[in-house]
Amino acid sequence: MKKHYATLKDVAERAGTTAATVSYVLSESSTRYISEEMRRSVLNAARELNYIKCSGASSLRGKKRKMIAVLVPQFENQFFTRIVLATEEVFDRHGYILTICNTFDDAEREQDILNRMQQQRVDGYIITPTKEGVANTKLLRQLGVPMVVVDRPLQGIDDYYWVTTRNYQCGYVGAQYLISKGHTRLGFIGWDSGIPDLLNREQAFFDAARDHGLAREGLVAVDGGFTMEEGYRMTAKLLDERPELTALLYGYNIQAKGGIRCLMDRGINIPDALSVVIIGSPEWVSAGKNNFTHVNQGDYELGCKAANLLLEVINGDGKVPVKHIIQECTLVEGESVCAL
């Protein structure tokens, strides 16, 4: 038994013709006359041999690979899982397949993965870059390979396609909601990412408080790593150092998960003893007994928009103008905030 995929030549042989003709038949090119008889015979041969075109070979002649690369920092973070899900659905419809890699927010790893993707000559990139994203994507940008950046920005440059959350608004609506319920002593827990755009969440927290006349002394923000454990640690720290706080705004769902674990461990009742709002909408905020007030960033839509934009760029022949798409967020009221 043959242990390899059938080639054009195999099909040609069986159909009594040459590879060229088979290629023309299978690509349904209209630029060439093919007799009905020949067409039939080729199609039969192809079916009988289970012919499957080798995309690697055809891409050598300039055809598309029909492959998209997706790079995310935390694949298991539902924010990203949903972006990937949306991307997959969009590209699936157009016959593409997705290659997905986890950078773990590690710049070296990102470079390594981008390298592998470039070896595959994928047609386009959807990427949530690390802080070294600008350097790591330099070659791609030089070559003009289609790329859409999602969520986090490429720092220091401006001419790239970007789809992101209105981060400032996320922080603002979250804080505003707490204030509207009468809270005046608020804590913010965030990520010390060093990424300017993300820091807007915290800035907005302070701005909202100021805009509503709250005293600066009642406010506190603490920043740490982008993990559950750090969320737990920072929550414990706030509880210990600022017992007068009546509400917490979590800037990131991953940290919120750990933080709320801390509240549970200490037997703190939500919302009676402490009110909580979370930016982000992982499944758990409203599953089972949970019903947390949170800010929905529209994860799935973000993914759809990024994917559609990338598709446009890929098919756009260099003519799609650079744009930044910024998606509004919405507050979803749950039962984790009490009125004071």
**Cis bond before residue 271 (omega within 30° of 0):** yes
Question: What is the C-alpha to C-alpha distance for residues 77 and 280, in angstroms, rounded to an integer?
Answer: 10
- Binding test (CB under 7 A) with DNA, winner from 44, 54, 265, 283: 54
Q: Note whether 44 binds DNA by CB under 7 A.
A: no
Query: 140 with 125: CB under 8 angstroms?
Result: yes
Task: Pick what 75 binds: DNA, a copy of itself, none; C-beta below 5 to 8 Å, kind-dependent.
Answer: a copy of itself
Q: Is 270 helix (H, G, I), strand (E, B) or coil?
A: coil
**Nearer to DNA by C-beta: 9 or 266?**
9
> 3-state DSSP call for residue 223?
strand
Cβ closest to a copy of itself, residue 190 vs residue 334: 334
Q: Are strands 247-250 and 161-165 parallel, antiparallel or unpaired?
A: unpaired
Distance of alpha carbon 235 from alpha carbon 265, whole angstroms = 11
Nearest distance in Å: CB 33, DNA: 4
Whole-Å CA distances, 326 to 160, 208, 289 = 14, 20, 33
Instruction: Choose from a copy of itself, DNA, none: what does 211 bind? Cβ within 5-8 Å by kind.
Output: none
Q: How many residues bind a copy of itself (CB under 8 A)?
A: 60
Q: Pick out residues in 96-135 that bind a copy of itself (CB under 8 A).
A: 97-102, 113, 115-121
CB 63 within 8 Å of CB 23: no
Residue number with CB closer to DNA (16 or 194): 16
- How far apart (Å, rounded) are the C-alpha atoms in residues 324 and 313? 13
Shorter beta-carbon distance to DNA: residue 8 or 270: 8
Q: Rounded to the nearest whole angstrom, what is the least distance from the CB of residue 95 to a copy of itself in the complex?
A: 7
User: What would the two tokens of residue 153 be?
Assistant: 């920005």
Exposed (0-12), middle (13-18) or buried (19+): which is 9, by Cβ within 10 Å?
A: exposed
Residue 3 vs 289, nearer CB to DNA? 3
- 260-289 binders of a copy of itself (CB under 8 A): 260-261, 264, 270, 282-285, 287-289
3-state secondary structure of 326: strand
Q: Structure tokens of 156?
A: 């220091």
- The verdict on 99 binding DNA (CB under 7 A) reads no
Q: Is 157 in the site for a copy of itself (CB under 8 A)?
A: no
Minimum gap (Å) between residue 144 Cβ and DNA: 15
For the bound state, the minimum distance from the C-beta of residue 13 to DNA, rounded and expressed in Å, comes to 11
Of 38, 85, 134, 135, the residue at the interface with DNA (CB under 7 A) is 38
Q: Measure CA 219 to chain center.
A: 31
Please tell me whether residue 340 binds a copy of itself under the rule CB under 8 A: no
Q: Minimum CB separation from DNA for residue 143, in Å?
A: 12
Closest CA to 128 of 171, 170, 81: 81
Angle at 183 between CA 178 and CA 186, to 5 degrees: 80
Query: If contact means CB under 5 to 8 A according to the sort of partner, which of DNA, a copy of itself, none does residue 92 touch?
Result: a copy of itself
Q: How far apart are CA 99 and CA 69, in angstroms?
A: 5
Between 102 and 203, whose beta carbon lies closer to a copy of itself? Answer: 102
Among positions 26, 49, 85, 135, the unique one binding DNA when judged by CB under 7 A: 26
Whether 310 contacts 148, CB under 8 Å: yes
The nearest distance, CB 188 to a copy of itself, in angstroms, is 19
296 is a site residue for a copy of itself (CB under 8 A) = no
User: Which residues of the chain form contacts with a copy of itself (CB under 8 A)?
Assistant: 1-5, 50, 52-57, 59-60, 65-67, 75-76, 78, 81-82, 84-85, 88-89, 92, 95, 97-102, 113, 115-121, 139, 142-144, 257, 260-261, 264, 270, 282-285, 287-290, 292
